[in-house]
A and B are shown apart, each in its own frame.
Chain A
Amino acid sequence: MNSSSRIVLGIVIIVAVIAGVFAFSQSPSTSNNVPATKNEPIKLGFIGPLTGDGAALGQNARAATEIAVAEVNAAGGIKGRPLEVIYEDGKCTGKEASNAANKLINADNVPVILGGLCSGETNSFAAAAEQAKRVVLSFCSSAPSITQAGDYIFRDYPSDLFQGSFAAKYVYETLGKKKVGIVYVKSDWGSGIKQVFSEEFSKLGGKIVAEEGYDQAARDLRTQLTKIKAAKPDLVYFLGYTEGSTVGLKQAAELKLGVPILGADGWDDPKLFANAGAAAEGVMYTVVSAPLSDAFKAKMKEKTGSEEVLACSPGAYDGVKILAQILASVGTDSTAIKDALYQVNYVGGVSAARVAFDKNGDPVEANYVVKIVKDGKATEVK
């Protein structure tokens, strides 16, 4: 036996030992019915980007989840059993999220996964969760494809379909603009909304005079904006995230676009208007009407030390509250939880006036409002 074979053999043995230890150290129950021992915590999984791109959203949502869990436990837990959430990093990529979900489902044996945050995360483990009959409740994935992801897959964040068609109607009917130029970020979110918007807007009788996409990492949108300007639209629909949009809005002002600008929920970030300054004055954007209570904002501030409540956090908070109610009434069997979720009618949350799911596990209603920026602050357009 030469030395390399010996090393290989050694590694195989080490791995086998580690694998054996894991296999035996896990709870003996392999069904998804966790035995209802008194005071043993009920474990839920959480998947979102905790590092890398989107970590700001993920960490903010984690804070909101922790607040909700602490409140549930302070109120006596679930029939005396505390709630515990296991946080796994999905890094906003399919591969990591798939690993994380498999660990949560098979090693931690959780009945429910809260997440993923990014649509790519949710898409990558939806099939595995469906196969293992575990409930997935995403609090921020907005890609239209998730509607069809499976029977066990829910989300309390509306599909981009709603936002795109809401914006199209708003532009055509309320603002009365018939020619629109679109600048959009090439991400699942940006491309998704753009597709729906163009379809709906054309159906209403409007005309898309120009469509210009930009890379998510791009910090210079002059080329795109110049082309848009040359097409002479009545309004520019600008789909972007904070970093790219800050530059984009400034450049739009420099190029004297001279037409109203409408954005989407990616702009619901105070940093954008602080950084873009005068260039952001008068821009509008659509956003899910989240009845964020002052109490919730204060709790978030206490937890994270900043005023920011980012887009995914209200959904995560409400998700925990909804699941806590269900766990208290039907127990930890994931199929029973799934059935109960279809019956949910949750009011008084912070993410929407009412949370209920349709037969695809999507929210039955999605209410958007339009906000306009005045003096560096976004206020709702009545």
Chain B
Amino acid sequence: MSYLLHLATFFGIYAILGVSLNLLIGYTGLVWIAHAATFAVGAYAGALFATKLALNFFLAMLLAMLVAGILGSLTGWIFSRLGGDYYMLASVSWNYIVVSVLINWESLTNGPLGISGIPKPSLGELSFAEPTKFFLLTLVLLGIVYAAARFITNSSFGRVIKAIREDEQAAKVFGYNTLMYKVAISGMGAAMAGIAGVLLASYIGFVDPSSFDVMESIFILAIVVVGGFANIRGSLVGALALVLLPELLRFAGFPAEIAAHVRLGLYGLALILFMLYRPQGIIGEYKF
């Protein structure tokens, strides 16, 4: 049971990442391949506030959201000047930049050694150290993020960002300042990813730069793609599928010599089959 709780907690963290990235990619059409970098900013900010300043988890989380959100808006503002494919390439480079900073800014981030001993959340007498309670906390935060994302996408604001995705020129002609909308949604998505980062840091108790490379960004992208673009529920489904599938394959009982390789191979095969037969994702509403 505790193993399922652990996976459920990971599901919650990745679902938050999937939902927030879907706001950028699925709804606004910004192909942001640096969500692991945003995740990292949240995780490191949370870890540093909680260890160096000994702030309470929830306060550290709010501050980490703020840091991630501001950085997200800033990168959104800069990169939005680049159109389409260039935006995507710039975001990949942003991921590399963030990881390099984490590795090289040793006085702050402790470099490749990472930060260990990150405390578990607590609120007064109530401690969330126990796996069940931590999972419930994750679930509540996922619920808040989900509700916020639903609210954003169903509002008039949501209609504008979808219009930007469909035809930015047309949206401009109607008098919308599309840049401001992109900056705003980048900031919101980043703040949500910041929550996931703080949760991961606190859950594992350790962060290091190797967890946030471009491959991790592609994993989060895969959650959105598998779940379906422009569907918030789809990102939940995608996170569930991609977090559980590799874990289920651990139980497939391959011989020990090749198990690790077969597992990765089957996982890759499943993703390829998906691309071939269901390119819009499980419940996607938009196809690139």
Contacts and interface: CB of A to CB of B under 8 A. Distances in A.
Interface of A: 4, 7-8, 11, 15, 18-19, 22-23, 30, 50-51, 62, 66, 85, 87-89, 92-95, 98-100, 102-103, 105-107, 119-120, 123-128, 131-132, 143, 145, 148-149, 186-188, 190-192, 213, 215
Given A15-B244, A126-B205, 5 more contacts: A15-B240, A30-B1, A95-B216, A102-B3, A186-B111
B178 interface: no
B17 to A, nearest CB: 12
B250 A145 contact: no
20 contacts: A4-B231, A8-B233, A8-B237, A11-B240, A15-B240, A15-B244, A22-B251, A23-B1, A23-B4, A51-B264, A87-B256, A89-B263, A95-B211, A99-B10, A99-B246, A120-B210, A123-B208, A126-B205, A126-B206, A186-B111
Contacts of B65: none
Given A15-B244, A191-B112, A94 B211 contact: yes
Contacts of A50: 259-261
Interface string B154-186: 000000000000000000000000000000000
A192 B113 contact: yes
Contacts, number: 126
B206 A87 contact: no
Contacts of A102: 2-3, 6-7
B261 A123 contact: no
A206 B91 CA distance: 45
Contacts of A4: 231, 233-234, 283
Interface of B: 1-4, 6-7, 10, 100, 103-104, 106, 111-114, 116-117, 129, 200, 204-208, 210-211, 216, 231, 233-234, 236-237, 240-241, 244, 246-248, 250-251, 256, 259-261, 263-264, 282-283
Contact of B250 (A15, A88, A92, A120): A88
**In this complex, which of B6, B103, B113 has the most chain A Cβ atoms within 10 angstroms of its Cβ?**
B113
A126 B206 CA distance: 9
B240 A93 contact: no
**In this complex, which of B6, B200, B233, B260 has the most chain A Cβ atoms within 10 angstroms of its Cβ?**
B260
B2 A7 contact: no
B96 to A, nearest CB: 10
A87 B259 contact: yes
Nearest to A92: B210
Nearest to A148: B117
Given A95-B211, A124-B204, A19 B4 contact: yes
Contacts of B112: 186-188, 190-191
B6 A188 contact: no
A188 B113 contact: yes
Contacts of A190: 112
B237 A188 contact: no
Given A11-B237, A87-B256, A98 B210 contact: no
B211 A93 contact: yes
A30 B6 CA distance: 16
A103 B247 CA distance: 8
* 3 A-B pairs with the lowest CB-CB distances in the bound complex, closest first: A106-B3, A50-B260, A89-B260
A127 B6 contact: no
Given A7-B282, A103-B3, A120-B208, A186 B103 contact: yes
A54 to B, nearest CB: 10
B2 A106 contact: yes
Given A51-B261, A145-B116, A106 B1 contact: yes
A11 B103 CA distance: 40
Given A23-B1, A51-B260, A213 B104 contact: yes
B250 A94 contact: no
A132 B2 CA distance: 10
Contacts of A125: 204
A190 B204 CA distance: 23
Contact of B106 (A7, A85, A191): A191
Contacts of B211: 93-95, 120
A106 B6 contact: yes
Contacts of A145: 113, 116-117
A8 B204 CA distance: 29
Contacts of A92: 210
A93 B282 CA distance: 29
B247 A99 contact: yes
Given A94-B210, A103-B250, A120 B4 contact: no
Nearest to B120: A127
A131 B116 CA distance: 16
A30 B2 CA distance: 10
B264 to A, nearest CB: 6
Contacts of B231: 4
Contacts of B208: 94, 120, 123, 188
Given A89-B263, A186-B103, A191-B106, A18 B248 contact: yes
Contact of B204 (A94, A107, A213): A94
Contacts of A95: 200, 204, 211, 216
Contacts of B283: 4, 7-8
**In this complex, which of A22, A119, A120, A190 has the most chain B Cβ atoms within 10 angstroms of its Cβ?**
A120
A120 B117 contact: no
A127 B4 contact: no
A102 B234 CA distance: 27
B4 to A, nearest CB: 6
Nearest to B219: A95
Contacts of B260: 50-51, 87, 89
A280 B226 CA distance: 50
Contacts of A85: 256
Nearest to A187: B112
Nearest to B8: A19
Contacts of A98: 6, 204
Contacts of B251: 22, 107
B205 A127 contact: yes
